[in-house]
Amino acid sequence: MIRHAWPRGWAAAKADYAAQGFAILSGLYPPSVLAGFAAALTQIEENAEALAARLPGKLVFERDLPAHRRDGLTDVGAALFLVNDLALFAAAFRPLHETPGVKGIFSELLGMDQPVLHYTNATIKQARFGRAIAWHRDFPNRYICPPDGRYLRLMLCLDGMTDGAGATMFYPGSQREDATDDVAAYLAAQSGMPVAAVCAPGDVVLIHPRVIHGGGMNRAARPRRNLILQAGSPVPATQPHEQLTGQGLG
Ligand SMILES: O=C(O)CCC(=O)C(=O)O
């Protein structure tokens, strides 16, 4: 049986983050801002081919990714998996890092006065065939990642997340220092089940960079779209930079 984690208030979310390596929080973004995000993302999806030609490398199509993570399905049209560097596409995405409250969340969880933005993306699990995401940790990663590991990801669930519909799954506690670095070895030694982050549209999931997470396909009839922002310590100049990399939050 799959276990679930549910949204909590800030004090409980902070405790969850420390104990489990992830936490679910409600009410951070106002409804009008959420509607703006959804409309801007829909615009991108509807104009994906033209935008991909104009902004090479920023859109990742399902058709260019291995089909085994979507049950072998190959007829996927111009369906997107990732939209990277959201600020390039629409000003409507700016509240993702500018909304009051966002800076405080990062500052408190990281113990840092001036966290800076690393990157943003939309991670889309399409209706019916949205791909599964393998078990992984976000630190270290090969994209944008301060060497000190002091950062976290805020994942806004535009459509909410439910079982069987691609909810992100977590191994609670796998962020701890004593957890083995090797994800496969950690999983092999586990007797516990992962936990599904079940949440409503507009909720956010706060993800510790060392917690092991992944998730199954979205087999539901509606898409599961998340917006992600990573922020924390400044990143070295030698790493890739997005439009807003290095900007302060709030
Ligand atoms: O979209 C998801 O379910 C998870 C995204 C994720 O694993 C990540 O950004 O590291």
Structural domains in the chain, CATH included, are 10-232 (2.60.120.620)
Does the beta carbon of 245 sit less than 6 angstroms from any atom of ligand 1?
Answer: no
- CA-nearest residue for atom 1, ligand 1, is 123
| Residue of 126, 155, 169, 195 with the most ligand 1 atoms within 8 Å of its CB, for mutation | 155
pTM of the entire structure?
A: 0.96
Predicted pLDDT of residue 83: 98
Site to probe by mutation for ligand 1, drawn from 183, 213, 230 as the one with most ligand atoms within 8 Å of Cβ, is 213
Q: CA–CA separation, 139 vs 179, rounded Å?
A: 13
69-111: pLDDT as tens digits: 999 999 999 999 999 999 999 999 999 999 999 999 999 999 9
Tell me if 226 CB under 6 Å of ligand 1: yes
Q: What does the alpha-carbon distance between residue 236 and residue 239 come to, in Å, rounded to a whole number?
A: 6
